[in-house]
Amino acid sequence: MEFQVWAERYRPQKLSEIINQKHVIERIKAFVKDRNVPHMLFAGHAGTGKTTTALAIARELYGDKWRQNVLELNASDERGIDVVRGKVKDFARMKPLGEIPWKIIILDEADALTQDAQQALRRTMENYTNSTRFILLCNYSSKVIDPIQSRCAVFRFKVLVDEDIKKYIETVVAGEKLKIDPKAIDAIVYLSEGDLRKVANLLQASAAMKEKITEDVVYDIASKAKPTDVKDMLDLSLKGKFIDARKKLQEMILRQGLSGSDIISEIHRQIYSIEGITEEKKIQMIEKCGEYEFRISEGGNEVIQLEAMLAQFLLVGKK
């Protein structure tokens, strides 16, 4: 079989197949059934089904001719006013194929459009309403100007829950006949943070690396810190065992090749589950995470900054 990214191979084709977004899909189905689709704005976390929903709408409206009636653009690549004045207007002027009297323009990452491009898009949406419907996709609807939002029906997509992600993993595992440990499934769910694209990519990369997918393989592929390693490091520093905590840190940075930002992100997630310390101390640790993450982003040496942060955690533990 020709190579194909699993995220695309297992993409739902129909609105009824999209998981964990019933609050959105039921409303959209009513629009599609009446053949009266408004301009729409899909907002939400990456990998929650926004693009899949837009493409499913096109398939159900146009059938086999959906590709000829859909223009899909990524605003993060083509974000200037020239794109709106050029590609978008040219496509909007063309006559649609089939019974539906209008075409669809899917504009992904619409929150990356410049202010000038958004103003131009607002006028284009007004002028070509009879021949074109716009579906704007974004992670942060607050970055889309109010005049555009007021012209759209806004749909907010929820982050996928763990049970739905596990069902998706089971579908891919069965379809690709993979061997996978239960702990590896839990690791993929944990690392994906509700993003199904990330789930599919982790599975595919792990399967290419080893015949049997284990927890260690998943974390190696993701280049992320293991929660158990980070938790052990935090426990050591809070107990005053700075040298042992530093050795654990050195192992993650030098042997596992993890970045300082990734380690801090995992530390931030683990702080909330630490037992035996007060809420006030957790707040102090979170504040230190923000401070040292900023230092690293400004060019500070990762090893020095992370060791300094561990020293601060040791002082928090002693108080």
Q: What mean pLDDT do residues 61-87 have?
A: 75
Is pLDDT above 60 for 160?
A: yes
Residue 199: partners with Cβ closer than 8 Å, 6 or more residues away: 47, 165, 168, 169, 172, 188, 189, 192
CB 237 within 8 A of CB 317: yes
CATH code: domain of residue 289: 1.20.272.10
Do 140 and 13 belong to one domain? yes
Number of domains forming the structure of the chain: 3
| Residue 79 reports pLDDT greater than 80 | no
Does 25 share its domain with 143? yes
- Split at pLDDT 50, 70, 90, the class of 313 is very high
Same domain, 185 and 218: yes
Considering only the C-alpha atoms of the chain, give the largest distance between any 2 of them, rounded to a whole number of Å.
73
Instruction: Looking at the structure, tell me whether residues 90 and 138 fall in a common domain.
Output: yes
Pull the structure tokens for residue 307: 């060791």
Are 210 and 302 contained in the same domain?
no
pLDDT in tens, 279-308: 999 999 999 999 999 999 999 899 999 999
pLDDT at 80: 56
Asked whether residue 230 carries a pLDDT value surpassing 50, the answer given is yes
Task: Write the pLDDT tens digit of every residue in 32-56.
Answer: 988 889 999 999 888 888 999 999 9
On whether residue 93 sits in a domain, the answer given is: yes
Token readout for 33 is 């059934």
pLDDT band for position 317 (cuts 50, 70, 90): confident
Residue 266 lies in a domain: yes
CATH of the domain at 206: 1.10.8.60
- Going by pLDDT thresholds of 50, 70 and 90, the confidence category of residue 82 is low
Tell me, yes or no, whether 150 and 186 share the same domain.
no
Average pLDDT of the residues of the chain: 87
297 is a domain residue: yes
Residue range 71-99: average pLDDT?
A: 72
Enclosing domain of residue 203: 162-222
- Residue 1 within a domain: no
* Domain membership flag for residue 35: yes
From the CB of residue 148, how many other CB atoms can be counted at a distance below 10 Å?
20
Q: What is the pLDDT of residue 77?
A: 58
In angstroms, the CA 174 to CA 168 distance is 10
Closest by CA position to 160, among listed 195, 187, 185, 186: 195
Taking CB atoms within 8 Å and a gap of at least 24, the contacts of 6-10 are 6/172, 6/176, 6/200, 6/201, 6/203, 6/204, 7/196, 7/197, 7/200, 7/201, 9/175, 10/168, 10/171, 10/172, 10/175, 10/200
Asked which of 87-96, 117-126, 184-193, 206-215 is least confident by mean pLDDT, the reply is 87-96
Residue 260, pLDDT score:
87
Say whether both 178 and 50 belong to one domain: no
Measured CA to CA, the distance from residue 308 to residue 315 in angstroms comes to: 11
Dihedral pair phi/psi, residue 189, rounded to 5°: -60, -45
Query: Picking from 75-79, 83-87, 217-221, 281-285, which range would have the lowest pLDDT averaged per residue?
Result: 75-79
Confidence of residue 236 (pLDDT cuts 50, 70, 90): very high
Share of the chain above pLDDT 70, in %: 95
Residues 6+ apart with CB under 8 A from 136: 39, 40, 41, 42, 107, 110, 144, 148, 152
In whole angstroms, give the CA distance from residue 69 to residue 95: 9
Check pLDDT > 50 for residue 3.
Answer: no
Q: Is 11 in the same domain as 150?
A: yes
pLDDT at 113: 83
Q: Which two tokens stand for residue 29?
A: 């189905």
In a domain, 291, yes or no: yes
* 76 inside domain: yes
48 and 115 in a common domain:
yes
Question: pLDDT class for 78, splitting at 50, 70, 90?
Answer: low
pLDDT over 50 (residue 74): yes
User: Do residue 196 and residue 248 come from a single domain?
Assistant: no
Residue 20 and residue 147 in one domain: yes
Count of other CB atoms within 10 angstroms of residue 212: 12
pLDDT band at residue 120 under the 50/70/90 scheme: confident
Burial class of residue 210 (count of CB atoms within 10 Å of its CB; 0-12, 13-18, 19+): middle
